[in-house]
Amino acid sequence: MHSSGQANGKESEPEGNKSAPGGQKELEAEVIGPGLCTGCGGCVNLCPYQAIYRDKTVTLHPCDLPRGRCYAFCPRTPADLGALREKIAPGTEWTSELGPVRGFFIARAADERLRRHGQHGGTVSALMTLALREGLIDAAVLAEEGEGLLPRAVTIEDPEAVGRSGKSRFVVSPTLAEFNRIARTERRRIGVVATPCQALALAKRRAQPLPAIEDGGEKLQLVVGLFCGWALAWRALSDLLAKKTDPTTITGMDIPPSRYHTLEVYTPTGTVQVSLDAVTPCVRESCRSCDDMTAEYSDLSVGSARLPEGWAEARGWNQIIVRTRRGQDLLELARRTGALEWREVPAGNLEKLQTASAGKKKAAAASRAETGAADGPKRAC
């Protein structure tokens, strides 16, 4: 593992996290051991002793450094959230339900191909394609279909290749491990599509530099966040779906609004409906204490839309939260270039999203109280 110490051997405190130094031992004791690891990959490829095995983070060899990036950048370790917020969205009011909100829109990809291959309206694919085409980034870190329901993280430089990574699988992808890998290469401007925990880890990377180490964090130029209620444990999901269909034939999945209470599994022969009563036990334990539904620490956040016409229409659109100036500039570019199509936001949609997000925060607090889990980053809020 790389140390956060200065060249003369003297250790330095991570900026914005001075009360919570830690290394691999603390990561094991506070995060991995208690089952709070999200599988984000944030510690992998920073340290040779951390690795991803399927959907789990594993320790290959002990490390006794008292301070390390594995601990400093983990989304489940303490942090000064005020410092993070000011770094990510300076001057923007941080709402208790949704984080910073500069704007709220409903849109979809103008390119029908991106809509067809993407999740819902294909907005994320359209934005990352646009960012690559316009040179805002020279590499995009995305998740795409892997083997046996396990997503894999990939780096894409060709804008025309973004569309192949548009589907959701609801199993965690070690996206940040791939970011850590390519941040050490010649790429200079990197964009990442991230879940809420991954976006928080990247925010810590931005706001808590360990100055003695050149880790490539300064190359992070764009974070597009995904709305996320939870991720599913790979083994449990695989066992469940094997009882319903041949997992090797699955082409995609989706979760309609809560009133449907189902996971839709798409196969070449039709759609398999799986009750959420059967799916809920597959939720990763670490997700139950997560209180961020909308990727609050990203530049833009994107999720499925809710429209008065019903799910058949809404599933073709996305709702977008603009959080930072950088995100606002990208969305304005999408409007000027016609990369996105737009529709009016129905009255009350933002309030409904606030209510849903507040519900997740309340459930997470209850889960932490029930299990005795620490509040993670909020301990140093």
What are the mean pLDDT values of the chain's consecutive 10-residue runs (381 residues total)?
32 40 91 93 91 91 89 93 89 93 97 89 96 97 88 94 79 94 93 97 80 70 96 95 92 88 93 95 94 97 94 94 97 98 97 96 91 53 31
Q: Model pTM?
A: 0.90
Give the model's pLDDT for residue 378.
47
- Are residues 87 and 220 in contact, defined by beta-carbon separation less than 8 angstroms? no
CA–CA separation, 60 and 43 (whole Å): 12
Angle value at C-alpha 77, between 284 and 283, nearest 5 degrees: 5
Question: Residue 226 has what pLDDT?
Answer: 96
CB 327 within 8 A of CB 299: yes
For the record, the structure tokens of 13 come out as: 């405190």
For domain 81-232+283-368, the CATH architecture is 3-Layer(aba) Sandwich (3.40)
Q: How far apart are CA 151 and CA 168, in angstroms?
A: 9
Backbone phi, psi, residue 225, to 5°: -90, 155
Find the distance separating the first CA and the last CA of the chain, reported in whole Å: 28
Q: How do the domains of the chain map onto residue ranges? A: 81-232+283-368, 234-282
How far apart are alpha carbons 344 and 375 in whole angstroms? Answer: 38
Residue 114's contacts (CB-CB under 8 Å, 6 or more residues apart) are 122, 125, 126, 129, 162, 163, 166
